[in-house]
Structure 1
Amino acid sequence: MAGLLAARVLADHFPQVTVVERDELPDGADARRGVPHGRQLHVLLARGRQSIEALFPGWGGDLLAAGAVLLQLPGDVQMLTPAGLVDRRAVGFEALSASRPLIEATVRRRLCALSGVTLVTGRQVTRLRADDRGVVGLVTRDRDGAEAEVDADLVVDASGRGSRAPAWLTELGYGTPRLILIDPQLAYATRTYRVPEGLTADWKAAMVLAQPPSSRIGGYLYPVEGGRWMLALMGAGGDHPPTDDAGFTAFARRLPHPLIAEAIADAEPLGPAVAHRGTTNRRWEFHRMQRWPERFVVLGDAVCAFNPVYGQGITTAALGVETLDECLRGQRRRFPEGGLDGLAARFQRRLARRNVLPWSVSTNQDTCFPAAGGARPGVAARLQYGFLDRVLAAATWDPAVADVDIRVYGMLDRPTALLRPHVLAAAARTSVTDRRERRPG
């Protein structure tokens, strides 16, 4: 997704954009090898949808026409937290729920319709080509081993967690970037079901949230195209969901609330559960390197990859692409003749600043798991967690607090919105043990 969105932005600044993809891409919305988590449940946050719609006007309509499900968060979603059910009277925001292959396919179709964009499939980038000042192109190899050189004014690496950018930088003499890892030892598994005919529930989706360190398991049940549910079960600290039929169902029954287990009891499974364990939070500190090659930038999961459970991946990639667009527009003002000097290093610094917030959201929560690597939460962090627990508890009975909390979750508002007077007052008079008796419908 980072690469597709980046190509769309580049098309506004360069006459020819070439997307090099290792996979042979499917004609439709099918999972593919190059996206190992493609069969897992994906959540597209509201801010990410806004960003994609800005790049491809009408894209949301395309997705709906292909079967995506429109949801109102939290009105259509049972969000069960350790403090209780988030107040569904909150305004929140509209979301689109669809499988990852469908989200990707609709974006790819729109991108490939643009003039000047070429999609090259079945070729892998093996190395960068560089001169004394920076990158001038790359080398690709097909499945038969035949290599080809590609010239480029700018090379963008959006190849995800498998990016070889750190090795390439080392080989070119720029040094090796620092890598930060925080691993909650979390894994998840997703299974698809047919939505039962005649379902009369007053909700469309359900979330049973884990709360580290006391609760290590959770589950998300979301509708997707084709009249299906996707159920993702997750567990941290080695408490991982099995993929066999009996084990998966038993794990669902262990969730802190029976809502999801009861929902799937009469639902027809449409295949086996599929597991995924690539959930380590990982950040390459490219922005701190003393030297950086001109005309080479890295974005998306290739720079900063999160525990997917927080649903930030696509949205953060989209925000990174927005940053690339901003840098390219600024470069045009500095160098109207079209020079790219200084762009790459400037972009990596600005991208790092933009990634601070989603990185903090993911890693601050994950360090609460005893098994996670990284620094233990200090006094300030523990006070912050205590405040957030109170906000979450207040969101179970105050729709105004729930609305702010949901908008922060959707990355529409910054976390500082939680410091508004009404939220602070509600949190102050709410105990984290004050569980409101509001059973899900």
Structure 2
Amino acid sequence: MTGNGPHGRGHAVVAGAGIGGLLAARVLAGVYERVTVIERDALPDDAAPRRGVPQSHHAHGLLSKGFEVLEDLFPGLGDDLVARGAIIRDAQNDVRWVNDGHPLLQAESGLRCLMVSRPTLEHHLRTRVAALPGVEIHQRCEVVEPLADGATGRITGVRLLRVNAEPEELPADLLVDATGRGNRGATWLRALGYEPAPEERVDSGIAYVSREYRRRPGDSDVDAYVIGAEATAPRGGVALSGEGDRWLVTLFGMNADLPPVDPDGYHRFAERLPVPDLHRLLQRLEPLGAPRMMRIPVSIRRHYERLTRFPEGYLVFGDALCQFNPSYGQGMTVAACEAAALQACLAEDPGDGLARRFFRRAARITDVPWDMSVGGDLRFPFVEGRRTLRVRLLNRYIGRLHRAAAVDPAVGRAFLSVANLQVPPQRLFAPGVLGKVLRPRAARPAVAAPVVAPAGVAADPVAAEPAPRSVPRAAA
């Protein structure tokens, strides 16, 4: 061990200074004497996109659960970001949701959502983490490979490569791989004499095109739009209010139906969305730049919890553990929940077996959003995957739920509580919801609620209902 802390906890190295790496470093800083974050990018001094995070130009969703966890880890985070122009709103009352062509009825839900750009959120977290005692963030530096004791297999450090420098070795008691979608985990494990984790892959064929617009008072009676794709219309879009008096609009398409990057084609694509709401908004807005495209890599889940052999002192975190279809907005929230799980594992015992215990907890966290996103992707016939009877029945049920949510705010609140990872999917089958879904009233257009900031987090009656133990997880 390299350190002499009260429990023998010395030096932790986190590879990657994205959202996942910063959250891991925040938790480790409460346990390890030293935490070194290694980032190969040049990190901007302000809230600006960077090369290693090309998705930062596009709309990001921080679900209600993720916002809750971040405020626990970084007290005052919400107020600090609001002071920088971010917006906190009610996820049901202040957002226009359209799922399978059905507008979700707006009403107060008590589910707080944070509308902030990825660069602003990451810059704020990086500033807060860098100020923690014992934490250092090294930029333009890359972890080339982990180092381990040949006899025990325990991680002893990492080999680093800085810009215009010779490789160097940095001793460490713990390595956290938070290098995101481009991680080299399989290569690193094989080099250490271990098998890589088994993987699940789902390719939705999705691509994003985003554009910024000026936001003015009176643009809209809501602060965000979320237009989901339909099985017969594999396209959708998101418009989020944000800091700097901007709207950030992201249109997405799947398979061969992709948004164009020329401005006229971009607007014509918006006109082809399942409902006209977002296109009508764009007709009123002043663009601030050209559209930008990003093709989304395949969704991959790595089952580290299934490995029987794994080196001590090595963890995998965030997108390196599971990378989701980003149209569901789950990635940052799952990383936040993993940080809370890591904190609990360290509190129990930071010693041997940490990876095994963390991977088990992380797998339980990942189960629900992975099933939701994969089940949703499998609605589209061009997405390859096994469509079990369970998946088909659940997707059919969710389709009926969306119709019911257009006329009943309690059903909509139940759906959003699950989608925001606040309650387990079994709540969608609670008696008070199940009856309304199976015997829905005739759908009518949702009535837009006035835009009001929530006074606080209201109690969610759905969350108080007991969950039937025999009901499987739902796909959305």
- Larger deviation: 198-207 or 136-145? 198-207
Which AA in structure 2 matches 1:331? Answer: D
| SS, match of residue 2 in structure 1 | helix
Structure 1 residues 4-153: aligned runs within 5 Å: 4-131=22-149, 132-133=151-152, 134-153=154-173
Query: How big is the shift at 1:90?
Result: 4.1
Alignment of 1:384 with 2:398, yes or no, is: no
Select which of 139, 153, 159 maps to 2:179.
159
1:399 to 404, 409, 426: 409
Aligned to 1:345: 356
For 1:356 and 1:198, how far apart are their aligned partners in 2?
Answer: 41
Q: CA deviation at 1:138?
A: 0.2
Displacement after TM superposition at 1:289 (Å): 2.1
Map of 1:337 onto structure 2:
none
Residue in 1 that maps onto 2:291: 273
* Contact 2:407–2:443 (8 Å) recurs in 1: no
The Cα shift of 1:201 comes to 3.0
Q: In 2, Cα distance between the equivalents of 1:427 and 1:39?
A: 38
Residue 437 (structure 1) aligns with: 445
Q: Please name the residue that 2:374 is paired with.
A: 363
In the alignment, which residue of structure 2 is the partner of 1:186? Answer: 206
CA separation of 1:352 and 1:91: change in aligned 2, threshold 3 A: closer
Q: Secondary structure at the match of 1:226?
A: coil
Displacement of 1:262 after TM fit? 1.1
1:385-423 deviation per Cα after TM superposition (whole angstroms, max 9, x unaligned) = 111112111111111111111111111111111122110
Question: What TM-score, normalized to structure 2?
Answer: 0.87
Q: Deviations over 1:365-392 (max 9, x none)?
A: 11222222221x2222211111111211
CA positional deviation for 1:263: 0.9
1:219 matches 2:237? yes
Partner residue in 2 for 1:173: 193
**Partner SS state of residue 412, structure 2:** helix
Contact 2:208-2:296 within 8 A present in 1 as well = no
Q: 2-side partners of 1:179 and 1:380: how far apart?
A: 21
Indicate the residue corresponding to 2:453 in structure 1. none
1:335 counterpart residue number = none
SS in structure 2 at match of 1:37: helix
Cα displacement (A) at 1:49: 0.6
For 1:227 and 1:29, the matched residues in 2 are separated by 15
1:322-337 map, 5 Å: 322-332=340-350
Say which SS state the counterpart of residue 386 (structure 1) adopts.
helix
* 2:227 matches 1:208: yes
The C-alpha deviation readout for 1:220-247, integer Å capped at 9, x for no partner, is 1111100000111011122111111111
Q: Secondary structure at the match of 1:370?
A: coil
Instruction: Return the letter of the residue paired with 1:366.
Output: D
Change in CA separation of 1:411 and 1:246 when aligned onto 2, cut-off 3 Å: same
2:86–2:115 contact (8 Å) kept in structure 1: yes
CA shift for structure 1 position 84: 2.2
Please tell me the residue identity of whatever aligns with 1:201: S
**Which of 422, 437, 440 matches 1:412?**
422
Q: Give the conservation status (yes or no) of the 8 Å contact 1:71–1:94.
A: yes
Q: Which amino acid aligns with 1:390?
A: R
Residue number in structure 1 paired with 2:469: none
What is the CA-CA distance between 1:23 and the residue it aligns to? 0.9
1:427 to 434, 437, 447: 437
In the TM superposition, residue 178 of structure 1 has moved relative to its aligned partner by: 2.0
Note the 1:219-368 alignment, pairs <5 A: 219-332=237-350, 340-368=351-379
Instruction: Write the distance in 2 (CA, Å) between the matches of 1:391 and 1:190.
Output: 30
Q: Which residue of 1 aligns with 2:385?
A: 374
Task: Tell me the SS of whatever aligns to 1:75.
Answer: coil
Question: What code does the residue aligned with 1:99 have?
Answer: S
Q: CA shift at 1:116, angstroms?
A: 0.8
CA distance in 1, matches of 2:195, 2:178: 20
Q: Distance in 2 between matches of 1:68 and 1:265?
A: 24
Q: Out of 341-350 and 243-252, give the one that drifted further.
A: 341-350
Q: Work out the CA distance in 2 between the residues paired with 1:178 and 1:273.
A: 37
- What SS does the corresponding residue of 2:290 show, helix, strand or coil? coil
Contact 1:38 1:101 (8 Å CA) reproduced: yes
* Counterpart Cα distance in 2 of 1:341 and 1:130: 15
Counterpart contact for 1:85–1:440, Cα < 8 Å: no
What runs of 5+ residues in structure 1 fail to find an aligned partner? 333-339
Paired residues of 1:188 and 1:234 also in contact (CA < 8 A): yes
Q: How many residues align?
A: 429
Instruction: Determine helix, strand or coil for the equivalent of 2:197.
Output: coil
What are structure 2's unaligned runs of at least 5 residues? 1-18, 450-476
Say if 1:279 and 1:362 are closer, same or farther in 2 by CA, change over 3 A.
Answer: farther
Instruction: Give, in whole Å, the separation in 2 of the partners of 1:140 and 1:185.
Output: 35
Identity of aligned residues (%): 38
Cα contact 2:100–2:399 (8 A) shared by 1: no
What is the RMSD of the two structures over their aligned residues, measured on CA atoms? 1.5
What is the rounded CA distance, in whole Å, between the counterparts of 1:33 and 1:69 in structure 2? Answer: 26
Partner of 2:10: none
**CA distance in 2: counterparts of 1:247 and 1:179, whole angstroms:** 37
Check whether the contact 1:90–1:400 (CA below 8 A) recurs between aligned residues. Answer: no
- One-letter amino acid of the structure 1 residue matched with residue 189 of structure 2: L
SS at match of 2:417: helix
Amino acid corresponding to residue 344 of structure 1 in structure 2:
A
- The answer to whether the 8 Å contact 2:101/2:274 transfers is no
SS in 1 for 2:30: coil
3-state DSSP of counterpart to 1:231? strand
Q: After TM superposition, which residue ranges in structure 1, 4 or more long, deviate above 3 angstroms?
A: 437-441
Once residues 143 and 24 of structure 2 are traced to their aligned partners in structure 1, the CA distance between those partners, rounded to angstroms, is 17
Q: Give me the whole-angstrom Cα distance separating, in 1, the residues matched to 2:188 and 2:229.
A: 39
- List per-residue Cα deviations over 1:206-261 (Å, max 9, x = no partner): 122112x2220001111110000011101112211111111111111111111111
Distance, in Å, in 1 between the alignment partners of 2:110 and 2:430 is 17
With normalisation by structure 1, the TM-score equals 0.94
Deviations 1:261-286 (A, max 9, x none): 11111311111111111242101222
1:179 offset after TM fit, Å?
2.2
